[in-house]
Structure 1
Amino acid sequence: MSTISSTAQSSASSTATLTQRLTAAVCASILGACLVYFAGFSHIEAVHNAAHDTRHSSAFPCH
């Protein structure tokens, strides 16, 4: 009977881990989208230029 409870605990543990990973991925995606939106549409010229120069230095096309 200990094998059954051990398997059940293992399943519950991996499900919680999957949920945590999905939550972290969604939060990171939202944060990343907000940062890209902020840098792309910022009226603060220094922020926009820093993002623009970073894209050019990593050979990412932006024009």
Structure 2
Amino acid sequence: MTARSVSAFPLSVSQRLAAGLALVFIGLTLTFAVGLSNMAVAHNSAHDTRHAIGFPCH
């Protein structure tokens, strides 16, 4: 019996490349946006977001 790979979203190589590049761009944007922002602002935003989604943090 041979194993088959089943994909829920069959994508071409160019679609996979586009998706990968988009994710890298989003990740770098978020990293630099937080890295270059005021740390108090970044902390308060993350803290408020945790409360907004109901995740306890203290």
The TM-score with structure 1 as length reference comes to: 0.46
Larger Rg: 1
- Scaled by the length of structure 2, what TM-score is found? 0.50
